[in-house]
């Protein structure tokens, strides 16, 4: 906990949304994030993967203080950003910034590129007008756009270029941390590769740290140093990237791996894999035992009754499964490694 | 329709001639090409010029008896005279000012109340929203003409009360629209991005979300202006207009008993109202079409 | 259930759009054919004309776009010349389309059951009771649990994956002979995508429908497609059997796409840094601003003066596998 190297520490984070009265009386509470711990070391990238609705974006927005935090704390270095309010929160915002998924909706259509990049500086009162323009141009070139591109409106850029603009904007206030919520999911493969490489390069050049959200395991493996696998508001497995992909131990992680496609795979390969059926349960009423039990091929009575703890398997590898380490992975590659 | 995007072969080089293409420019072009909207603009311009310069140019006092009462158009006066022998054309030219001012001012009032209520409800959501929307609903279910009549009767008919009455009864619809737009845009990532960049609530509401939600508000403002003019006419017609200030509605209202004998006394100011409302709604339609062309390219 | 007569054959299709300065070519001389009971994968970056091809087949091009030359033969019938009445008959009955966005392609004010039943009633002339029966069968076929009960649900009560299954159920309800699926899983999770792909394969085996699968994911192509056509800037720049193209692409653009795709490394392969992702620098040229010569030349590492000046011809590298590139032969030999 007291590791001075950590840029970000998230402790016991819970975000619950109250969505009105429940039919049977009481309130309907969405347990979007339900007790999440992790930390991000300086200059590294922490990845979060999981299904739609598992709470990935909610973590991102809780860190960014865009949704109210129900419980838990978030520290940026030594600053507890979860406790900040009003002006002190505004002042701290320069140090953590965000890149959103959809490059079409995350730029104000009425602001020219340069104004969009300058906006954080303007709002936070960093530097003088001339200095801000210089920063904007510097950031444009840093993300591989021409400095004159600042004169154009967002609709004059392609999707990939817009995502570059969003990155430039996030960089403008020289943050320590950038939270990227599926920054490449809306892009096609060619542009995705450009943006991933850009993010990597910026990380090296500027010593940036990222929280990187994606649902694509291959992308996460490419860019992240540590990964948390999320299911229904909680981490079911968390490990350094090499360990996770070499010896994943949670049945849900296996099912994500099984569903991944590869250009080299045989036609119809999916049919031979252990695919997950059904749908995740509602986050309004999470199951009381293991949250994955209803869909897990290995589930027992114990799983349905008792929630598994996130147990340590050494080397920073943690798994929340009662039978972690005892089960035979249904993925051939993992078997040979084990 | 084509936009100057960066040169295809490199990310680094914008084309030398790349002009910043404001997102509204295309809208303006579409609007200007719309024939119906252009007709509306011309009609409105005629009405405005007529009411601003007309009285001075025509030079007839609208309140004086100038000719034989109820004489038909062409028989001594261009548009005939009313039951007191006052010149109808002079009345229309002078009365237009009041009608248009009442229409415009009450429309502004309607829009301001509506936008403010809707903006707060849509932006803050939760309890603020619930309370404001209950309040709005209350105004929406009240029969508006009746409410306006009651207000005007209680406070004695004067221009101020009429404007106030029209403003009070009409804003609910604008409030709902604004709220919906604020909710929609408030959820877009660029608003979150601005907040993450350190924007205060007031900046988000009025500098980020409001400009984005203006288009539908502008369109319905045109409708509201038209409706306000009709409303003023309606009130005057029912005898609830300010009797001391001549307006189109008042001319109709005062002459309604002579409708069968002297059609022109009612028809001519009626036409003036019709043309003005038509012009405004044509312009409104034009703006609407320009803002929502069916196949708008997004790249 | 496959046989070698093409069910859909597109010959030299050109689609143009009205621009400020005359017509702009969106699809340029595109040819491809899909055999019965097989899947054709259409790949390419955003804006290369994949959806336009699909819409041209459906004859649902947006206003301002038109087919200016070429033929689309559906079982021998040229549908570019078909009347609107004939097209209505074909759409739904013989061809159905699954759109990318499952959230917006279902009508929110009707129940899912009504929408499927309506499609069946219109196209197959079944009566209300039979149509409803068919709707239940279809929901079962796409593995929606409690199909009878879900018939009365509205689209918003379904998750994205379920909605996409409903779309597939609707597309299949009339037993079409061709399904055009435009990025059917892009908006979905990998786990749901896997379910849907498995379902599409199963249904194809049962019914023998031909499928045109539009995607930019080469993994999806490997999983489902028998044949592939690669699109770039309105050209079909490579086509052939999926296995051949994915093993040894003949066009530099296709091999570029291959090396852009991050690969998942599991087990022993996961240790250490993976290979760097290569990039195809730059971006797809804009409509109406196409470079002369090969349209890929500005981004191509192999391009020379000849490429930049002269439009490449379709060159066969092995039977049934051709690429539109001057360097094809050299590259495959190398
Ligand atoms: N403002 C909100 N009010 C109520 N519920 C919400 C709100 N925001 C998110 N949720 C719910 O919280 C859960 C987690 O949502 P979240 O957006 O974090 O998921 P995600 O993992 O990012 O999914 P995706 O991959 O689809 O982006 C979902 O069930 C969602 O419906
Ligand atoms: N309604 C429209 N008006 C003008 N241009 C359009 C319209 N729809 C598409 N285009 C243009 O036509 C070209 C081909 O578009 P198409 O939709 O076929 O691309 P795509 O390959 O399907 O891409 P994506 O992967 O983004 O779906 C693109 O350059 C696109 O910008
Ligand atoms: S705890 Fe049980 S149900 Fe949960 S993942 Fe492990 S085996 Fe499956
Ligand atoms: Mg999300
Ligand atoms: Mg498309």
User: Mean pLDDT, to the nearest integer, of B81-100?
Assistant: 80
| Confidence check: pLDDT of A72 > 50 | yes
| Confidence check: pLDDT of A2 > 90 | no
- The most confident of the ranges A163-177, B220-234, B235-249 is A163-177
Whether residues C120 and C225 fall in one domain: yes
| Confidence check: pLDDT of C334 > 60 | no
DSSP 3-state of A83? helix
Q: Give the integer Cα–Cα distance in Å for B108 and B209.
A: 20
Q: Determine which helix (DSSP H) or strand (DSSP E) holds A20, and give its type and residue range.
A: strand A6-21
The region, left, alpha or beta by phi > 0 then psi within -120 to 50, assigned to residue B73 is beta
pLDDT value of residue B161: 81
pLDDT bin (cut points 50, 70, 90) of residue B16 is very low
Q: Is C132 domain-assigned?
A: yes
Q: Give the integer Cα–Cα distance in Å for B275 and C114.
A: 46
Probe target for ligand 1 pocket from A14, A16, A17, with the most ligand atoms within 8 Å of CB: A17
Output phi, psi for B23, to 5 deg: -60, -20
- Pick the atom of ligand 1 nearest to A233's CA: 14
Q: Which of B197, B45, B180 is nearest to B123 (CA)?
A: B180
Question: Residue whose CA is closest, atom 26 of ligand 2?
Answer: C46
- Cα dist. B138→B132, B135, B169 in Å? 10, 5, 10
- The count of domains in chain C is 2
User: Mean pLDDT, to the nearest integer, of C312-334?
Assistant: 81
Which residue, C240, C260, C280, sits at the end of a domain? C240
Q: Which of C164, C161, C202 is nearest to C181 (CA)?
A: C164
| Confidence check: pLDDT of A93 > 70 | yes
- Cα dist. A198→A120, B139, C273 in Å? 21, 55, 17
Neighbouring residues of B103: CB distance < 8 A, sequence distance ≥ 6:
B225, B226, B228, B229, B232, B276
User: Mean pLDDT, to the nearest integer, of B42-67?
Assistant: 81
At A250-262, the pLDDT tens digits run 999 999 999 999 9
- As given in the structure block, the two tokens for residue A109 are 């259509």
Q: How far apart are the first and last CA of chain B?
A: 11
User: Mean pLDDT, to the nearest integer, of B64-88?
Assistant: 74
pLDDT bin (cut points 50, 70, 90) of residue A225 is very high
Neighbouring residues of A240: CB distance < 8 A, sequence distance ≥ 6:
A225, A226, A227, A315, A316, A317
Q: Which residue has the higher pLDDT, C162 or C101?
A: C162
The CA dihedral of B183, B186, B187, B188, to the nearest 10 degrees, is 130
At A19-64, the pLDDT tens digits run 777 777 778 889 999 999 999 999 999 999 998 889 999 999 999 9
Probe target for ligand 3 pocket from A274, A288, A299, A330, with the most ligand atoms within 8 Å of CB: A299
Distance from the Cα of residue B224 to its chain's centroid: 4
Distance from CA of B4 to the nearest CA of A (A): 6
Whether residues C98 and C123 fall in one domain: yes
Q: Give the integer Cα–Cα distance in Å for B99 and B232.
A: 7
Question: Which ligand sits closest to the CA of C52?
Answer: 2
- As given in the structure block, the two tokens for residue A157 are 């850029």
| Confidence check: pLDDT of B4 > 60 | no
| Residues A164/A144, Cβ–Cβ less than 8 Å | yes
| Residues C96/C170, Cβ–Cβ less than 8 Å | yes
CB atoms within 10 A of CB C330: 10
pLDDT bin (cut points 50, 70, 90) of residue A309 is very high
Q: Is C90 domain-assigned?
A: yes
Q: Are strands C178-182 and C65-74 parallel, antiparallel or unpaired?
A: unpaired
Which residue, C177, C210, C240, sits at the end of a domain? C240
Whether residues C193 and C288 fall in one domain: no
Probe target for ligand 3 pocket from A322, A327, A328, with the most ligand atoms within 8 Å of CB: A322
CB contact, 8 Å: B72 with chain A? no
Q: Which of A32, A8, A56, A9 is nearest to A178 (CA)?
A: A8
Q: Which residue has the tokens 């200030």?
A: B245
Whether residues C211 and C277 fall in one domain: no
Which residue, C240, C270, C299, sits at the end of a domain? C240
Whether residues C146 and C224 fall in one domain: yes
Whether residues C166 and C222 fall in one domain: yes
Strand partners, C322: C239, C316
Question: Residue whose CA is closest, atom 18 of ligand 1?
Answer: A55
Q: Give the integer Cα–Cα distance in Å for A70 and A17.
A: 9
- The DSSP call for residue A297 is T
Whether residues C223 and C258 fall in one domain: no
Strands across the sheet with A177-181, in order? A96-99, A177-181, A209-213, A45-50, A226-231, A234-240, A318-319, A311-312
Of B3, B11, B199, the CB nearest to A123: B199
ipTM passes above 0.90:
no
CB atoms within 10 A of CB A303: 22
Output phi, psi for A245, to 5 deg: -80, -20
* A contact residues 167-186, partner C, Cβ 8 Å cutoff: none
Burial A144-153, CB ≥16 within 10 A → b, else e: bbbbbbbbbb
User: Mean pLDDT, to the nearest integer, of C224-248?
Assistant: 94
Q: Which of B79, B29, B32 is nearest to B58 (CA)?
A: B79
- As given in the structure block, the two tokens for residue A222 are 């490419």
What residues of chain C lie within 8 A of the CB of A156, using their CB?
none
User: Mean pLDDT, to the nearest integer, of C122-141?
Assistant: 82
The set of protein residues with a Cβ atom below 6 angstroms from ligand 3 is A 250-251, 290, 292-293, 296, 298-299, 303, 308, 321-323
Whether residues C38 and C83 fall in one domain: yes
pLDDT value of residue A7: 94
Q: Do B8 and C19 touch (CB under 8 A)?
A: no
Show the domains of chain B with their CATH numbers: 80-294 (1.10.3720.10)
Whether residues C179 and C125 fall in one domain: yes
The CA dihedral of B62, B63, B64, B70, to the nearest 10 degrees, is 80
Q: Give the integer Cα–Cα distance in Å for B270 and B236.
A: 12
Whether residues C236 and C253 fall in one domain: no
Q: Which of C200, C191, B182, C266 is nearest to A267 (CA)?
A: C200
Å from CA of C236 to ligand 5 middle: 15
DSSP 3-state of A210? strand
Q: Do B9 and C19 touch (CB under 8 A)?
A: no
Q: Is C260 domain-assigned?
A: yes
Q: Domain range holding C299?
A: 249-332
Three-class DSSP labels, chain C: CCCCCEEEEEEEEEEEEEECCEEEEEEEEEEEEEECCCEEEEECCCCCCHHHHHHHHHCCCCCCEEEEEEEEEECCEECCCCCHHHHHHHHHHCEEEECCCCCCCCCCCCCHHHHHHHHHHHHHCCCHHHHHHHHHHHHHHCCCCCHHHHCCCCHHHCCHHHHHHHHHHHHHHCCCCEEEEECCCCCCCHHHHHHHHHHHHHHHHHHCCEEEEECCCHHHHHHHCCEEEEEECCEEEEEEEHHHHHHCCCCHHHHHHHHHCCCCCCHHHHCCCCCCCCCCCCCCCCCCCCCCCCCCHHHCCCCCHHHHHCCCCEEEEECCEEEECCCHHHHHHC
| Confidence check: pLDDT of A206 > 50 | yes
What residues of chain C lie within 8 A of the CB of A52, using their CB?
159-160, 188-189
pLDDT value of residue A14: 96
Q: Are strands C321-324 and C227-232 parallel, antiparallel or unpaired?
A: unpaired
At C26-51, the pLDDT tens digits run 999 999 999 999 999 999 988 899 99
Whether residues C217 and C320 fall in one domain: no
Q: Is C1 domain-assigned?
A: no
pLDDT value of residue B104: 87
Whether residues C47 and C155 fall in one domain: yes
User: Mean pLDDT, to the nearest integer, of C272-277?
Assistant: 84
CB contact, 8 Å: B12 with chain C? no
User: Mean pLDDT, to the nearest integer, of B88-101?
Assistant: 83
């Amino acid at each position: 906990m007291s590791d001075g190297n950590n840029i970000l520490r998230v402790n016991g984070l819970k975000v619950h949304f109250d969505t009105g009265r429940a039919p049977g009386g009481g309130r309907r509470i969405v347990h979007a994030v339900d007790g999440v711990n992790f930390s991000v070391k300086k200059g590294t990238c922490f990845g979060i993967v999981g299904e739609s609705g598992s709470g990935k974006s909610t973590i991102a927005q809780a860190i960014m203080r865009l949704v109210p935090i129900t419980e838990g704390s978030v520290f940026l270095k030594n600053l507890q950003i979860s406790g900040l309010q009003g002006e002190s929160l505004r002042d701290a915002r320069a140090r953590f910034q965000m890149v959103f998924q959809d490059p079409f909706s995350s730029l104000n259509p009425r602001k020219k590129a340069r104004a969009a990049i300058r906006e954080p500086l303007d709002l936070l009162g960093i530097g003088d007008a001339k200095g801000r323009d210089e920063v904007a141009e510097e950031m444009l070139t840093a993300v591989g756009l021409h400095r004159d591109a600042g004169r154009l409106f967002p609709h004059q850029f392609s999707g990939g270029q817009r995502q570059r603009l969003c990155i430039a904007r996030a960089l403008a206030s020289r943050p320590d941390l950038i939270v990227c919520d599926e920054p490449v999911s809306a892009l096609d493969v060619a542009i995705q590769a450009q943006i991933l490489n850009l993010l990597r390069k910026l990380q090296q050049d500027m010593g940036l740290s990222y929280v990187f959200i994606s649902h694509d395991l291959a992308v996460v493996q490419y860019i992240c140093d540590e990964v948390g696998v999320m299911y229904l508001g909680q981490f079911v497995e968390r490990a350094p990237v090499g360990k996770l992909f070499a010896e994943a131990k949670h049945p849900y992680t296996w099912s994500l791996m099984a569903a991944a496609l590869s250009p080299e795979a045989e036609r119809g390969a999916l049919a031979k894999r252990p695919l997950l059926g059904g749908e995740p349960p509602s986050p309004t009423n999470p199951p009381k035992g293991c949250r994955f039990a209803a869909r897990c091929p290995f589930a027992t009575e114990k799983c349905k009754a008792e929630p598994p703890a996130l147990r340590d398997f050494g080397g920073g590898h943690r798994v929340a499964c009662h039978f972690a380490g005892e089960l035979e992975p249904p993925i051939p590659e993992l078997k040979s490694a084990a | 329709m084509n936009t100057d995007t960066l040169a295809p072969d490199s990310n680094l080089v914008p084309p030398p001639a790349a002009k910043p293409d404001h997102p509204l420019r295309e809208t303006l072009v579409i609007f200007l090409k719309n024939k119906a909207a252009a007709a509306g603009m011309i009609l409105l311009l005629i009405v405005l010029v007529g009411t601003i310069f007309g009285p001075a140019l025509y030079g007839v006092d609208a309140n004086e008896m100038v000719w034989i009462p109820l004489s038909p158009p062409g028989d001594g006066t261009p548009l005939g005279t009313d039951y007191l022998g006052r010149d109808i054309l002079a009345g229309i030219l002078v009365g237009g000012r009041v009608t248009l001012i009442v229409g415009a001012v009450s429309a502004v009032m309607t829009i301001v109340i509506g936008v403010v209520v809707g903006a707060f409800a849509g932006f803050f959501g939760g309890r603020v929203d619930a309370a404001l929307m209950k309040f709005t609903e209350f105004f929406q279910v009240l029969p508006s003409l009746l409410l306006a009549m009651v207000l005007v009767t209680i406070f004695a008919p004067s221009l101020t009360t009429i404007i106030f009455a029209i403003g009070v009864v009409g804003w609910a619809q604008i409030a709902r629209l604004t709220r919906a737009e604020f909710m929609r845009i408030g959820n877009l990532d660029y608003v979150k991005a601005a907040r993450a960049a350190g924007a205060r609530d007031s900046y988000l509401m009025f500098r980020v979300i409001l400009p984005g939600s203006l288009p539908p508000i502008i369109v319905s403002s045109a409708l509201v202006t038209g409706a306000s003019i009709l409303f003023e006419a309606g009130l005057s017609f029912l005898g609830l207009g300010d009797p001391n200030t001549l307006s189109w509605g008042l001319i109709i209202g005062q002459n309604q008993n002579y409708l069968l004998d002297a059609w022109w006394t009612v028809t001519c100011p009626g036409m003036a109202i019709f043309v003005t409302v038509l012009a405004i709604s044509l312009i409104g339609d034009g703006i609407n079409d320009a803002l929502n062309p069916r196949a708008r390219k997004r790249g | 259930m496959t046989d070698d007569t093409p069910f859909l054959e597109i010959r030299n299709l050109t689609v143009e759009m009205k621009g400020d300065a005359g017509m702009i070519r969106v699809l340029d001389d595109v040819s491809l054919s899909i055999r019965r009971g097989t899947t054709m994968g259409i790949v390419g970056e955003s804006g290369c004309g994949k959806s336009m091809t699909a819409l041209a087949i459906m004859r649902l091009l947006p206003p301002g776009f038109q087919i200016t030359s070429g033929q689309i033969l559906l079982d021998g019938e040229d549908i570019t010349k078909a009347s609107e009445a004939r097209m209505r008959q074909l759409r739904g009955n013989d061809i159905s389309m699954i759109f990318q966005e499952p959230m917006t392609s279902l009508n929110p004010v009707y129940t899912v059951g009504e929408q499927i039943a309506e499609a069946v009633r219109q196209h197959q002339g079944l009566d209300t009771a039979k149509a409803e029966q068919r709707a239940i069968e279809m929901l079962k076929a796409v593995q929606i649990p409690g199909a009878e009960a879900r018939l009365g649900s509205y689209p918003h009560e379904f998750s994205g994956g379920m909605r996409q299954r409903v779309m597939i159920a609707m597309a299949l309800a009339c037993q079409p002979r061709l399904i055009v699926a435009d990025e059917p899983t892009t908006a979905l999770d990998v786990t749901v995508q896997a379910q849907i792909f498995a379902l599409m394969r199963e249904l194809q085996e049962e019914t023998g429908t031909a499928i045109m699968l539009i995607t930019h994911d080469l993994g999806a192509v490997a999983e489902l497609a028998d044949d592939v056509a690669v699109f770039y800037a309105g050209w079909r720049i490579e086509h052939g059997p999926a296995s051949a193209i994915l093993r040894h692409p003949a066009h530099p653009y296709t091999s570029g796409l291959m090396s852009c795709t991050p690969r998942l490394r599991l087990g022993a392969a996961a240790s250490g840094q993976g290979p760097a992702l290569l990039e195809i620098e730059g971006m797809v040229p804009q409509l109406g601003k196409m470079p002369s010569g090969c349209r890929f030349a500005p981004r191509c590492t192999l391009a020379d003066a000849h490429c930049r000046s002269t439009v490449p011809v379709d060159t066969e590298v092995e039977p049934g596998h051709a690429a539109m590139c001057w360097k094809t032969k050299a590259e495959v030999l190398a």
